[in-house]
Amino acid sequence: MSTTATTIDRAAPPEAGPRAFIRRLRDGDEIAHVVTLVFAAAILLITSLLVYELWMDSRLSRAKFGWDFFWTRTWDPIFDHFGALPFIYGTLVTSVVSLMIAVPLGLAAAVFLAELAPRRLSDGIAFLIDLLAAIPSVIYGLLGIFVVVPLMRTVIGPALKAVLGKLPLFGGPNYGVGFLTAGIVLAIMVVPFIISVSREVLLTVPGDQREAALALGATRWEATWQVVVPWARTGIMGSVFLALARALGETMAVTMVIGNDPKVSASLFAPGYTIAAVIANEFTEATGDLYLSALIELGLVLFLMTFILNGLARILIVATERGGGHPS
């Protein structure tokens, strides 16, 4: 996104003025430099402190399970046997499902708002979308329980089963709660992020680009899809990763609709569990030391997952920038 920001030369030196004024300004600069440096360093410090705490507090569990923690399917607080696989799986599946729904939906809506809709309508709707992004997740959870879950059980689920029931992806009993429901609720939650950010980015695409394409005889659709969207590619991807970050860490809305059963199932109808949800659910009542340590290690795993995914996102952005010949 930073690539689309234009730098405005506001910091031009004053042409004339007493020396003392310039001096004060310089002093101010120094102070501002130090203050902003401290704040920037604080971010770094907080992040490393977070990792350090998670690392230290999970050492019991790390020592006991080692790398097996990642592959073990059991989560048994009574017999002290812990594995993260069902939670990692659930977190990934729900996030992927949500992005598969939210990206096309969000991108299409953003293109409409930025390119086709009258400016007034676009601004009005954008305001509502920003409002949607600010709604607390528990409200989305309630929406999930009262609207999506019954719909899933009576309409969406049976329809999917009728068409695609042969695939293992849509096999098994449909309780209304499960991976797919959680994915749908997450999609509803993250779509405002995608629309809002993508629309802003699309609006910053210079008019010349559009006009040049049209002048060359492109239709409106061709100009949008082949010129404007690729131009804004980096920013759109940024919006998708923002959405992914929210989907990975979402707790409340997911736990209300996913069924909370730590199992790895092929079917999207099956109940599952996510890392954030299990931590929120079990942390308060976790009495054993190893149990607590395993929950903290799950937090570490989630941190690692966001870290890796963000790294991949960076690589992807850099790669596409090199590959595409568009200026950005």
162 binds another protein (CB under 8 A): no
User: Are 223 and 318 in contact, with CB atoms under 8 Å apart?
Assistant: no
Q: From the CB of 74, what's the least distance to another protein, in Å?
A: 7
Closest CA to 264 of 93, 99, 82, 98: 93
Residue 239 CA: distances (Å) to CA of 25, 64, 196, 197? 38, 39, 8, 6
The Cα–Cα gap between 243 and 227 comes to 24
Cross-strand partners of 75: 82
Q: From the CB of 274, what's the least distance to another protein, in Å?
A: 11
Q: From the CB of 58, what's the least distance to another protein, in Å?
A: 16
* DSSP label of 150: H
User: Are 173 and 161 in contact, with CB atoms under 8 Å apart?
Assistant: no
**What letter represents residue 306's amino acid?**
T
Binding positions for another protein, 52-111, rule CB under 8 A: 74-79, 81
Query: Which residue lies nearer to another protein by CB, 203 or 286?
Result: 286
In the shown chain, the binding pattern of residues 166 to 185 toward another protein, with x for contact by CB under 8 A and - for none, equals -------x-xxx--------
Size of the site for another protein (CB under 8 A): 32
- Binding segment for another protein (CB under 8 A), chosen from 144-152, 162-170, 299-307, 315-323, is 144-152
- Binding segment for another protein (CB under 8 A), chosen from 38-46, 63-71, 148-156, 188-196, is 148-156
- Binding segment for another protein (CB under 8 A), chosen from 61-69, 211-219, 258-266, 301-309, is 258-266
* Burial classification of residue 72, based on how many CB atoms lie within 10 Å of its CB (0-12 exposed, 13-18 middle, 19 or more buried): middle
* DSSP label of 146: I
Residues lying near another protein in the complex (CB under 8 A) are found at: 74-79, 81, 145, 149-150, 153, 173, 175-177, 255-256, 259-261, 271, 273, 277, 280-287, 292
